[in-house]
Amino acid sequence: MSAAALAVLLPVLAAIGLGFAGTPLRGAYANLIVCAVVFLLTIGVFFSPGTGVVQADPLGMIFGLLGGFIALTTAISNIDFVRGEVENMSPGRWRVYHAMCQLMLGATLLGLYADNIGLLWGAVETATIAATLGVSLPRTASALEAAWKYFVLGGVGIALALFGTAVTYLAAQPALGPGLAGMSFAALSAHAGQLDGRLMTLAFVFLLFGYGTKAALVPLHGWLPDAYAEGPAPLTATLSGLLLNVALIAILRFRHLMQANVASGGDAMLPGPFLLTLGLASLLLTAFSLWGRRDSRRFFGFSSIEHSGIAAFAFGIGGGAAIFAGLLHMLLHTLIKSALFQALTRAAALRGGAAPGNFGFSHLRGLAATNRPLAWLLGACIFALTGLPPSGLFSSEFLIISQTIQRQPLLSLPLGLGLVVCAIAIIRLIGPLLFNPAPRRGMLPVKAGAGIGAAGVHLLVVLVLAFAMPPALVRMLSSIAGGLQ
Amino acid sequence: MIQAYPLAHALAAVLLLCAFALLSQRRLSAMITLYQSEALVLSAAAFWQGYAQGSDDLVLTGIITLSIKGVLLPMALRRIVHRFNLIRAVETVMPVGLSMILGVLLIGIAVKVVLPSTASAVTLTREDLAIALSVVLLGLLVMTTRRNALSQVIGFLSTENGLVLAAIGMPGMPFVAELSVALLVLAALLVVGVFVFQLREHSETLDLSGIEEIERRGR
């Protein structure tokens, strides 16, 4: 069995085990061990990508490795989280929580490694269910409401995506005939010119709205801030951030089918304008929504929508360089955002528990007084999110803007405006959060523990990726971007 | 294969009729009955396609549809209605007549979009796909025009029937049974979700802490 298939199967099997046995703390350690093995397996995928329906291509490998890495660091910080919160949920619910963490990981990896549009759909659907159950775990009225919203919106999105999947298969019939080939990305991409272009357009609209719901592109984003704010943070904010990538990559691949069809004289419509519209809408809506948020997780949820939109915009611009930039942007943003949520969760835990109510900015402010290292780390994460140099996101955003000026000069104005407004909205938080007086007098300094080191490692990786990317990775990403343009 | 058209189209048309009637129906028990008949027709269509295409996968889909969607889910829905005494007519966002006009428009759009773009496709699937898309859109319309959670779920279930109808009409599509099971899991969880919600709404010890929490924190 290939490493890719093992990396998908192991978390799913572990989910069953974790769901039925173990105390919360033991579950957290078992979760860590499984994540460590899965991380090694995601490295192994580079050497053993598998065959048949689970067959990782270079794009899947890179993002799979990212997923494995983030799952590992999340599992490390998860131990502190479980220690602090163990009283707040029954052992049974903790079991469900750890099982859903693993199921989420397995589904994410399947979504990245599958060379089959049906399997991709199944993976996204499973991840949706896992995330919804995760959000509903605190059982407060607001958590249930967020879970319901997620479920209904996610369910409709998933339904649309399945319709698109079936129509894609139908569009492939003239070229590939019945059977598995009509659902394989590799085969579809090789015969993109012979696909039925008009059917592909119909399929693409459904797929874009379906997977766009999962990627939280405006106007399909409604579930995300609530889901991030109400569920247990490591599962619903950090791990489900990986799902945004799966959805965006799915959109990127289908976009490529359309583009290749047009390029070889097919009847498909150009996919660019669709993506540009949704991407810009996401960016501009967040530029307004980021102001006046009082809950930090909701705030950073909106910022995820922004970055999802930027990546979609880059894909819409098209061409090798823009797609390279979009993929780089996704890699960097995922690393930064997961580090940020790990640090944020720790900060809330030190301020009296990481329950959903404790993430208000007013509750967290003045961090430097109580824990200096954590405060600087969190400050660095938030600064990195703005995209100002020396943040890694600067390099990808710079590339995207320069490509926009080359290819669609008029669109660079709203893009630049959105980026600047978002950056200001984010950067104005750092001062109060770190240096304002703490909400209550006499808060004593507390130790954050070694667990937050993982978030620091994330930021280091971001710096390396943005400013000193290994040449092998550059070649790999460029050839992926060139193949998908 | 030629003989397969009339019956396949007839079954799909009955399904569409049920989906359309769902739009006009405001009583939950009647909506459930309509959903049940949709599921029965769908399973018949799956059996027929399985026979016509000679595919065991589709027969399996038919069996799953018949047993779970035709029998178990409606039973569960009826129990929810009975237990929480939801016999009143459901509040709608717009007058029923208006939503029916919208429904007709949606069917028109579906036909207008699908038929021209499938001119070259295998003909068995052409009309089937147009009807399936209509059912999907009608289900979504039901979801948007109802205020009550249970009737929204029934709308989603109807949408899901349209999807399965689309999938079984595709010649030789792999994984149809697996995909329909995956959809069913989603649908079953939605029904459980409605149950949990109703339970919370009706229990004496309604936990309002979450709402206060939101008020305190602000959005």
The predicted pLDDT at position B139 comes to 94
Lowest mean pLDDT among A55-59, A64-68, B73-77, B125-129: B125-129
Residue B217 lies in a domain: no
Of A141, A167, A202, the CB nearest to B207: A141
Cα dihedral A296, A299, A303, A304 in deg (nearest 10): 70
Residue B213 lies in a domain: no
pLDDT band at A56; cut points 50, 70, 90: very high
Please state, for a pLDDT cut of 90, what percent of chain A lies above it: 66
pLDDT of A471 > 70? The answer is yes
**A152 vs B179: CB contact, 8 Å cut-off?**
no
pLDDT in tens, B173-212: 888 888 999 999 988 888 888 888 777 776 644 444 454 4
Phi-psi region of B95 (alpha: psi -120 to 50; beta: other; left: phi over 0): beta
Q: Which chain A positions have a beta carbon within 8 Å of B185's beta carbon?
A: 129
**A393-410 burial code (b ≥16 CB/10 A, e <16):** bbbbbebbbebbeebbee
Residue B192 lies in a domain: yes
**B159 vs A145: CB contact, 8 Å cut-off?**
no
Lowest mean pLDDT among A67-81, A429-443, A468-482, B72-86: A429-443
**A202 vs B172: CB contact, 8 Å cut-off?**
no
pLDDT in tens, A223-235: 999 999 988 888 8
Residue B127 lies in a domain: yes
**B214 vs A142: CB contact, 8 Å cut-off?**
yes
The predicted pLDDT at position B208 comes to 45
Count Cβ–Cβ pairs < 8 Å, chain A vs chain B. Answer: 137
The DSSP secondary-structure symbol of B26 reads -
Q: Which chain A positions have a beta carbon within 8 Å of B178's beta carbon?
A: 118, 122
The predicted pLDDT at position B71 comes to 94
B37 min Cα distance to partner chain A (Å): 21
Could you tell me which of A114, A120, A116 has the C-alpha nearest to residue A5? A114
pLDDT of A443 > 50? The answer is yes
Name the residue of chain A whose CA is nearest to B201's CA: A141
pTM above 0.90, yes or no: yes
Q: Mean pLDDT across the stretch B83-109?
A: 86
Of A145, A166, A174, the CB nearest to B120: A174
Domain that holds residue B178: 4-202
**B175 vs A145: CB contact, 8 Å cut-off?**
no
Residue B195 lies in a domain: yes
Domain count, chain B: 1
| Average pLDDT taken over every residue of chain B | 84
Q: Which chain A positions have a beta carbon within 8 Å of B201's beta carbon?
A: none
**B216 vs A357: CB contact, 8 Å cut-off?**
yes
**B173 vs A199: CB contact, 8 Å cut-off?**
no
**B210 vs A174: CB contact, 8 Å cut-off?**
no
Residue B164 lies in a domain: yes
Chain A interface, best mutation among B111, B152, B213, by max A CB count within 10 A: B213
pLDDT in tens, B26-57: 889 999 999 999 999 999 999 998 988 888 88
Cα dihedral A458, A304, A245, A333 in deg (nearest 10): -30
The predicted pLDDT at position B136 comes to 94
Better pLDDT: A314 or A265: A314
Residue B110 lies in a domain: yes
Chain A interface, best mutation among B109, B179, B211, by max A CB count within 10 A: B179
Residue B216 lies in a domain: no
pLDDT in tens, A34-53: 999 999 999 999 999 988 88
The predicted pLDDT at position A50 comes to 87
A232 min Cα distance to partner chain B (Å): 15
Rounded Cα–Cα distance for residues B130 and B108 (Å): 9
Phi-psi region of B27 (alpha: psi -120 to 50; beta: other; left: phi over 0): beta
B27 min Cα distance to partner chain A (Å): 21
The predicted pLDDT at position A112 comes to 96
Q: Which chain A positions have a beta carbon within 8 Å of B166's beta carbon?
A: 163, 166-167
Chain A interface, best mutation among B120, B135, B158, B197, by max A CB count within 10 A: B120
pLDDT band at B124; cut points 50, 70, 90: low
Q: Name the one residue in this structure whose structure tokens are 């958590």.
A: A143
Lowest mean pLDDT among A310-314, A339-343, A451-455: A451-455
